[in-house]
Structure 1
Amino acid sequence: MFRLSLLCCFFLFFSCTESNTLNNNSSSISELSNLLLVTPNDTVLLKERRNLFINNGDFENALIDQKQLFIIDTTNYVNRFKLAELYFNLYYVNPNYISNSLELISSDDLVYPSILLLRGKLFYILQKYSKSLKNINAYLKSYPFDAEAYFYKGLNYKEIGDVDMAESQFQTAIEQNPNHVSSHEQLAFIYAFKEDTLAKYYFINALNSDSSLLSSWYNLAMYYQNRGNFTSAKKSYFGILRRDSINFDANYNLGYISLVEEKFELAIKYFSTLINLSDTFASVYFSRGLAYKFNNEKFEAQKDFEKTLELNPDFIEAKKELKSFK
């Protein structure tokens, strides 16, 4: 009881502290914004507000401030790089940002190390692998111990089909940074493809490097699931649910495993969790329909198969299941 109270106090304190930090940042942003109304081209104020936006994870507003800084001084390579970097970090929001980023740093005259690495990343995304490798190799002359650079070299070699070189680069990345999660995962994928049991070692290393990443829990779970080790797979999925109780993939795959293990009521529970969150997934209704069918709840099964076809009229297996009721 004492331990529970202590934990509650800790979380309450942490939440209050975090809330106060965010409030302080917000008030600072508000104050800076008022000052910038008077002096809109004050670079010190713009940089300070940009940094606060970045700290709050508000990259889109940070981008606006960085654009203004670049307009004020287009000759400043740091302003140019930071604008290109923000475009790169936001390309998942707008794919056009990749070309915006590259346009800023495409000139061969720009050979600052940070620009070389960013250019290498951009060329990788654009599938221009030889150009990507050229820039990354040039960067590594200045920073030969940068794990991220070796990681991107590995990605390039993987894409051009040189798996042995890719493996070597990911290994080098881990030598530079033993907790480089993405490199552990890439090595795990390579070894899993080769049916090498070392894959499990690297999936576990990725998880141990950062257990807050749900993708690491999921990758390990899928590794076990694909090999029929449902007990270990379930442990990893439970790890996801402890961090995100409504995670789609974890609930769905636990429902699937429950179906295979003939624990039909448990399967119904997992699939129902997802349906209660969103009733738009035909595959979830179909899977719950199967669980109802095998649990001898024919009426409920039929309703789920009908709902499946309502959502996806081309769902062939659902059509077959409905025919079996006639």
Structure 2
Amino acid sequence: MKILEIKRILLFPIAVFCLMWLVACNEGQKQSNQNDGLEPALSQLNQGIAIDSTDHTLYFARGEWYYKQQEYELAINDLERAIDLDPNIPEYYHLLSDTYMDNYRSKEAMEVMVKAGDQFGERIPTLLKLSETQYILKQYEPSLFTVAKILTIDNEHPEAYFMMGLNFRALDEVEKAINAFQTATELNPELVDAWLILGKLFENRNNDLALQYYEAAINVNPDMPETWHSKAFFLQNNGRIEDAIEVYRQINTIDRYYMDAYLNAGILYLEIDSLQPAYEQFNIMINLKSQNFIGHYYRGIVNEAMGNIEAAKTDFQNTLNLKPDYAKAQIALKRLESEG
């Protein structure tokens, strides 16, 4: 009996250990099963949080991952948790505000940035973010107030003057806007958007200085199609058709998939009755992106002008196949069919 009792005493803790080991393995398997099929990055973050649920950097990283996947509610939960764990990191507030904004919750987006602005009142990137949020939500006077606060910290901050210009432009105080954008470019000549906006403001005044501003933008970033597009648009609006076409062709050497350059060049060729070059531009559009309904429509216009009526009908029909409610194509096709 004593020998049996000793065996029972020895076996009991062993049995308990085995049972605990099996339970742990089962829990681990459950965690593994939960992560099966997830993106590797997300799975790794989940595992990290399961190990240490107090690591704010992991919640921020997972919130950022959810944000990029447009899983906004999940992102908000994680970013708020990250802030609860460590409220002293401004970037957490910035991304949380962006997430609210992209989730059509602008009130919460603003509240987050106001809180961040109060908490990090001497940090210029946070104040710029607050000013930008106020500007987006058309709170122009508060945005200008925030800009003024930035300039008390650094009175030569180019992005602060850029934000000032945006607000004055929105308030239709054009002269003040121009002065602000000019100051921004003096402090930082690399601000492409400021050059482009200055060009547009002077173009609206029919002032040829606009072209110089557009060319300044091109000099800053010659690989950016939008800078060339602004110049080309100015040229075509001022009757310099051939110069504009040349710029549009230049754009497509930079970015062959920039559809607006083919479209605008084709339309300009039509205006000067250069039908074959116009056809080529619209044909390129279709070859690069067959679902581009506007390319089919304008190729139909060219085919009709060239007397290729059946080809024109096909182009107009293809336009309607892609966009059934496109009125111009409906009218054009009906007209050709009625003419027999």
TM range (shorter): 0.7 to 0.9
* Higher-Rg member (1/2): 2
- Within a 5 Å distance, the mapping from 1:163-202 to structure 2 comes to 163-202=174-213
Which residue number in structure 1 is paired with residue 327 of structure 2? 315
CA shift, 1:44, in A, is 5.7
CA shift, 1:91, in A, is 7.3
Question: For 1:211, which of 206, 212, 222 is the aligned residue?
Answer: 222
Deviations along 1:263-321, one digit per CA (max 9) or x if unpaired, are: 3233223223333414352x333211111012221111122234445534461575256
Deviations along 1:207-253, one digit per CA (max 9) or x if unpaired, are: 11112322212111211122222333233323322232122211211
Task: For residue 106 of structure 1, give the secondary structure of its aligned residue in structure 2.
Answer: helix
Could you say if the C-alpha distance between residues 101 and 169 of structure 1 is closer, same or farther in structure 2, counting changes exceeding 3 Å? same
Alignment size in residue pairs? 292
Q: What is the distance in 2 between the residues matched to 1:313 and 1:125?
A: 32
Which residue number in structure 1 is paired with residue 111 of structure 2? 103
Structure 1: 5+ residue stretches without partners: 1-25
Letter in 2 for 1:82: E
CA shift, 1:182, in A, is 1.0
Which residue number in structure 1 is paired with residue 281 of structure 2? 270
- Within a 5 Å distance, the mapping from 1:18-29 to structure 2 comes to none
- Within a 5 Å distance, the mapping from 1:252-263 to structure 2 comes to 252-263=263-274
8 Å contact kept, 2:316–2:329: no
Q: What is the distance in 1 between the residues matched to 2:290 and 2:178?
A: 40
Could you say if the C-alpha distance between residues 87 and 275 of structure 1 is closer, same or farther in structure 2, counting changes exceeding 3 Å? farther
Which residue number in structure 2 is paired with residue 14 of structure 1? none
Could you say if the C-alpha distance between residues 317 and 307 of structure 1 is closer, same or farther in structure 2, counting changes exceeding 3 Å? closer
Structure 2: 5+ residue stretches without partners: 1-38
Please give the TM-score of this superposition, normalised by the length of structure 1. Answer: 0.76
8 Å contact kept, 1:120–1:136: yes
Which residue number in structure 1 is paired with residue 151 of structure 2? 140
Please give the TM-score of this superposition, normalised by the length of structure 2. Answer: 0.73
Could you say if the C-alpha distance between residues 239 and 89 of structure 1 is closer, same or farther in structure 2, counting changes exceeding 3 Å? farther
Could you say if the C-alpha distance between residues 319 and 58 of structure 1 is closer, same or farther in structure 2, counting changes exceeding 3 Å? closer
Q: What is the distance in 1 between the residues matched to 2:71 and 2:258?
A: 29
Q: What is the distance in 2 between the residues matched to 1:209 and 1:264?
A: 35
Could you say if the C-alpha distance between residues 91 and 177 of structure 1 is closer, same or farther in structure 2, counting changes exceeding 3 Å? farther
Could you say if the C-alpha distance between residues 94 and 242 of structure 1 is closer, same or farther in structure 2, counting changes exceeding 3 Å? farther
Letter in 2 for 1:112: E
8 Å contact kept, 1:305–1:322: no
1:223 is aligned to 2:231: no
Q: What is the distance in 1 between the residues matched to 2:100 and 2:59?
A: 23
Q: What is the distance in 1 between the residues matched to 2:260 and 2:94?
A: 32
Letter in 1 for 2:331: K
Could you say if the C-alpha distance between residues 307 and 105 of structure 1 is closer, same or farther in structure 2, counting changes exceeding 3 Å? closer
Task: For residue 136 of structure 1, give the secondary structure of its aligned residue in structure 2.
Answer: helix
Deviations along 1:126-174, one digit per CA (max 9) or x if unpaired, are: 1111111111111110021111111111111111111000001001101
Which residue number in structure 1 is paired with residue 30 of structure 2? none
Could you say if the C-alpha distance between residues 305 and 86 of structure 1 is closer, same or farther in structure 2, counting changes exceeding 3 Å? same
Considering only aligned residues, what root-mean-square deviation do their CA atoms show, in Å? 3.4
